[in-house]
Amino acid sequence: MIKTTSIGVLILLSVSLIVSLGVNYFSPSGIALVGQWDRSKGVVTAKSKLDTVHADIEVNNPLVVKRMIQNGGVVLIDARLKDVYDKGHLPGALSFPLADFDQDLAKLLDLVKKDTSILVYCSGFECTDSHSFATQLLALKFTRVRVYAGGFREWQDMGFRIEKNEG
C-alpha cells in the first residue's frame, strides 16, 4: 500500500513538473530559468524572451566612460526617472526617462542627430532601462549608441564627480 502510494505521488509530481515547465516555456511572460548573473560580464539579466540587453553595445569599464566624458563628443543620457536623476547624475547627463520615451522623442531629436555618439545609462548592472532606451534609439536608426552597464551606482562607487539638481 505504501509502495503504491509513493509511486503515485512520484508520478503526480513528475507530471506536474513537466506540465509547469512546458507552460512556463511557451508563456510569453514565463519565468526565465537561465541568465547572465555575473556583473563583471555586463548587465545582470534573466535572458527572458522579452530581453532587450545587447552586450555588444555595453561599455563595462568606468575609466573608459570617464575618459569619454572628459574628451567630450558624447551625449550622456540618463534613462532613470527625473526625480532620481535630480538627486545625482553623471556630469553633463541629460534626463530622458525610459518611461517618457515616446513623449520626449521630439525633444531628443531636436538635441541630437542620428549619427551622434550617445551613451545611455541607468542605475547599474541590475537595471535594463538603459538597454531598452538604446534599443529604441537603434530601431530609430541612430548609429552610435552605447550603454554604460555599471550606471550611476558604479560611477558613484568609483568616487567620480556627480552633479545634482537642487530644487
pLDDT tens for 33-49 read 666 555 555 555 545 44
Which of 111, 138, 125 shows the shortest CA–CA distance to 57? Answer: 138
How confident is the model over 43-59, as a mean pLDDT? 62
pLDDT of residue 162: 95
Instruction: State in words which class domain 39-157 has.
Output: alpha beta
Domain-by-domain residue ranges, the chain?
A: 1-31, 39-157
Give the pLDDT band (50/70/90) at residue 20. Answer: confident
Helix ranges (H only) for 61-100 are 62-71, 82-87
pLDDT at 68: 93
Residues 112-162 pLDDT 10s = 999 999 999 999 988 889 989 999 999 999 999 999 999 999 999 999 999
pLDDT score for 49: 46
Residue 6's pLDDT band (cuts 50, 70, 90): confident
Give the 3-state secondary structure percentages of the chain, helix then strand then coil, rounded to 5: 45, 10, 40
